[in-house]
């Protein structure tokens, strides 16, 4: 057993003992160093996760990694890139954890081909509400019943459970080979219909203009200015751009047609400015940017500033001074069937008015990789059910909007939910949600969730999903 495995076992024992020591009526939360949730509802963490934040092993032959659940993608990528490998999907922000991306979802520009992070999980050790640590393993593709799997229902139920069925302490994930550089092409479209057609084509063919596409996402600057960015991994680059200093990545999309980044800088291209959200803090102003230490140009730093503002209410005070009833944070990621994207964007421009907006095509994964082999993979994920034959587009928008007198504090977010339901869409639950219990059950597998809850947390030690993500 390696030193890392010994330390991991001690950390696992500590978190299990910590759960057992909590009073039966005490709320169970994780005491984490970082968070990418935007439900600022307070409450002290009860369970320490110290030591559950390391990469345990990378197998470059099998193309797998064993990873503790609280390991950040920043540390995970640092461990895999030296082997010429990356996780199949690397969410955009460095301090997102692997466990968080599995139980709370994640997405990025490889999702048009490789789905969501949980779809590359081969097995997981899960601390359930009963205090048991269960080793879960997916059903072997093509097998009948539960052949080849251990607690496959729990593994399938983890995505979108947000720790209410259990905590992922260790995960084995698949890895994919990478080249050292990425060649980007930024393609402009005037209308939502045009970029929708382009995204659908890339998701279907994995090509654009006759060239291979390894990564695909997009940015909407206005109803008349849309960009699709396609990336191809390459072995050489005539030059390299750097967007960790004075230059800002999202602005380059409007300025360049072709660009080159290292694979490392490509994976973290959004983190330096938290997409474009650093502008709200003045960090994109040249003078401020030069004075702002480079080590603090990170999404987790900006998020802590936002959390402070939510506590002291400065933005609400400023909004009222400008004559508004207040301001409503609108920080959401939603999935829309690709053919309904123009309808959603038209509503969004008309009623919400936030820009820019991020687009990321998503297709449920159709193959499972194991080294060089690929096998059919049609696993279902009952708490976040997406049609495997439908291409979706994730629409991300992160800002706020003024409230008029008489508007409810969640007016805009509720309108987004209502329109989304009419378009057969879903949204992630890391931020504000206002669904009724019946709406929530219909969208997020309520019947299956209760069956899993009764099986793996019968005494209700862990929070309820609806309570945690909507009303708690």
- The DSSP annotation for 94-114 comes to TT-BHHHHHHH----TTHHHH
* For residues 289-294, average pLDDT: 92
Sequence-distant (≥ 6) Cβ neighbours of residue 250 within 8 angstroms = 219, 270, 273, 275, 276, 356
- Which has the closest alpha carbon to 443: 472, 470, 412? 470
435-459 core/surface letters (b: 16 or more CB in 10 A; e: else): beeebbbebbbbebbeebbeebbee
Radius of gyration of the chain (CA): 22
> Which pLDDT does position 322 carry in this prediction?
66
pLDDT at 228 over 60: yes
> Which pLDDT does position 84 carry in this prediction?
98
CA distances from 251 to 243, 247, 254, 273 (A): 10, 8, 6, 11
What percent of the chain has a predicted confidence (pLDDT) above 90?
A: 72
Give the Cα separation of 295 and 312 in Å (integer): 25
Going by pLDDT thresholds of 50, 70 and 90, the confidence category of residue 363 is very high
Phi/psi for 299 (5° steps) reads -65, -35
> Which pLDDT does position 139 carry in this prediction?
67
pLDDT at 45 over 60: no
DSSP conformation letters of 208-233: ETTEE-SEEEEEEEETTEEEEEEEEE
User: Which of 157-166, 232-241, 305-314, 354-363 is least confident?
Assistant: 305-314
User: Is residue 160 within 8 Å of 384, Cβ to Cβ?
Assistant: yes
Q: Report the length, in residues, of the chain.
A: 472
pLDDT at 85 over 70: yes
> Which pLDDT does position 145 carry in this prediction?
45
Going by pLDDT thresholds of 50, 70 and 90, the confidence category of residue 236 is very high
> Which pLDDT does position 22 carry in this prediction?
85
> Which pLDDT does position 15 carry in this prediction?
87
User: Is residue 297 within 8 Å of 283, Cβ to Cβ?
Assistant: yes
**235: which DSSP letter?**
S
End-to-end Cα separation, the chain, in angstroms: 42
Q: What is the pLDDT of residues 414-460, one digit of tens each?
A: 999 999 999 999 999 988 899 999 999 999 999 999 999 999 999 99
Phi/psi for 363 (5° steps) reads -135, 130
pLDDT at 229 over 60: yes
Classify strands 121-128 and 133-137 as parallel, antiparallel or unpaired. Answer: antiparallel
> Which pLDDT does position 1 carry in this prediction?
73
User: Is residue 114 within 8 Å of 92, Cβ to Cβ?
Assistant: no
Q: Is the peptide bond before 356 cis (omega within 30 degrees of 0)?
A: yes
* For residues 251-259, average pLDDT: 98
User: Is residue 81 within 8 Å of 176, Cβ to Cβ?
Assistant: no
- Which has the closest alpha carbon to 411: 311, 319, 335, 329? 329
Going by pLDDT thresholds of 50, 70 and 90, the confidence category of residue 372 is very low
- Which has the closest alpha carbon to 370: 175, 207, 214? 175
pLDDT at 312 over 90: no
* For residues 410-414, average pLDDT: 93
Q: What is the pLDDT of residues 320-350, one digit of tens each?
A: 666 666 788 899 999 999 999 999 999 999 9
> Which pLDDT does position 61 carry in this prediction?
97
Sequence-distant (≥ 6) Cβ neighbours of residue 198 within 8 angstroms = 187, 189, 208, 228
pLDDT at 257 over 50: yes
Q: What is the pLDDT of residues 120-168, one digit of tens each?
A: 999 999 999 999 999 999 765 544 444 456 899 999 999 999 999 999 9
Q: What is the pLDDT of residues 94-123, one digit of tens each?
A: 999 999 999 999 999 999 999 999 999 999
Q: Which residue has the higher pLDDT, 344 or 305?
A: 344
> Which pLDDT does position 234 carry in this prediction?
98
Question: Please, what is the Cα angle at 183 between 377 and 363, to 5 degrees?
Answer: 25
**464: which DSSP letter?**
P
Going by pLDDT thresholds of 50, 70 and 90, the confidence category of residue 261 is very high
> Which pLDDT does position 25 carry in this prediction?
77
> Which pLDDT does position 310 carry in this prediction?
66
Q: What is the pLDDT of residues 169-224, one digit of tens each?
A: 999 999 999 999 999 999 999 999 999 999 999 999 999 999 999 999 999 999 99
User: Is residue 125 within 8 Å of 12, Cβ to Cβ?
Assistant: yes
216-226 core/surface letters (b: 16 or more CB in 10 A; e: else): bbbbbbeeeeb
* Rounded-to-10 torsion of CA 323, 328, 329, 330: -120
Residue 164 has which token pair?
């209410």
> Which pLDDT does position 318 carry in this prediction?
59
Residue 121 CB-density burial (10 A; 0-12 exposed, 13-18 middle, 19+ buried): buried
Q: Which residue has the higher pLDDT, 383 or 140?
A: 383
Sequence-distant (≥ 6) Cβ neighbours of residue 84 within 8 angstroms = 60, 177, 178
Instruction: Name the H helices within 323-457.
Output: 341-347, 411-422, 437-443, 446-456
Helix (H, G, I), strand (E, B) or coil at 184: strand
Residue with tokens 């500590």: 14
Residue 253 has which token pair?
């999309």
């Amino acid at each position: 057993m390696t030193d890392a495995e010994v330390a991991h076992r001690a950390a696992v024992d500590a978190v299990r003992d910590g759960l057992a020591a909590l009073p039966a009526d005490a709320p169970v939360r994780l005491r984490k160093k970082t968070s990418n949730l935007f439900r600022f509802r307070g409450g002290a963490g009860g369970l320490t996760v110290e030591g559950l934040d390391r990469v345990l092993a990378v197998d470059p032959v099998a193309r797998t990694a064993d990873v503790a659940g609280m390991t950040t993608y920043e540390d995970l990528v640092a461990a895999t890139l030296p082997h010429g490998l990356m996780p199949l999907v690397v969410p955009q922000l460095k301090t997102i954890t692997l466990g968080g991306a599995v139980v709370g979802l994640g997405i990025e520009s490889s999702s048009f081909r490789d789905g969501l992070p949980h779809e590359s999980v081969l097995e997981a050790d899960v601390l359930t509400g009963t205090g048991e640590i269960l080793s879960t393993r997916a059903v072997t593709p093509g097998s009948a019943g539960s052949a080849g799997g251990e607690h496959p229902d729990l593994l399938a139920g983890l995505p979108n459970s947000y720790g209410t069925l259990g905590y992922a302490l260790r995960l084995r994930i698949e890895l994919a080979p990478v080249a050292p550089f990425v060649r980007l092409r930024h393609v402009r479209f005037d209308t939502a219909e045009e970029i929708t057609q382009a995204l659908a084509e890339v998701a279907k063919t994995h090509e654009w203009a006759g060239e291979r596409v390894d990564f695909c996402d997009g940015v909407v600057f206005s109803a008349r200015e849309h960009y699709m960015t396609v990336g191809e991994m390459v072995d050489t680059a005539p030059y390299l751009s750097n967007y960790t200093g004075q230059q800002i990545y999202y602005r380059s999309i409007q300025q360049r047609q072709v660009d080159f980044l290292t694979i490392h800088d490509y994976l973290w291209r959004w983190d330096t400015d938290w997409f474009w959200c650093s502008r709200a803090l003045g960090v994109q102003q040249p003078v401020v940017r030069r004075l702002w230490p480079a080590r603090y140009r990170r999404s987790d730093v900006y998020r802590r500033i936002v959390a402070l503002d939510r506590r002291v209410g400065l933005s609400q005070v400023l909004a009222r001074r400008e004559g508004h009833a207040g301001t409503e944070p609108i920080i959401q990621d939603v999935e829309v069937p690709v053919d309904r994207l123009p309808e959603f964007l038209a509503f969004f421009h008309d009623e919400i008015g936030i820009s820019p907006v991020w687009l990321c095509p998503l297709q449920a994964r159709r193959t499972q990789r194991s080294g060089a082999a690929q096998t059919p993979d049609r696993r279902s994920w009952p708490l976040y059910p997406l049609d495997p034959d439908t291409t979706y587009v994730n629409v991300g928008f992160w800002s706020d909007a003024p409230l008029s007198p008489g508007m409810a504090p969640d007016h805009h977010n509720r309108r987004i939910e209502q329109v989304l339901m009419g378009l057969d869409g879903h949204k992630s639950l890391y931020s504000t949600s206002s669904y009724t219990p019946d709406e929530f059950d219909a969208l997020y597998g309520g019947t299956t969730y209760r069956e899993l809850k009764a099986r793996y947390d019968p005494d209700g030690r862990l929070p309820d999903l609806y309570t945690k993500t909507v009303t708690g």
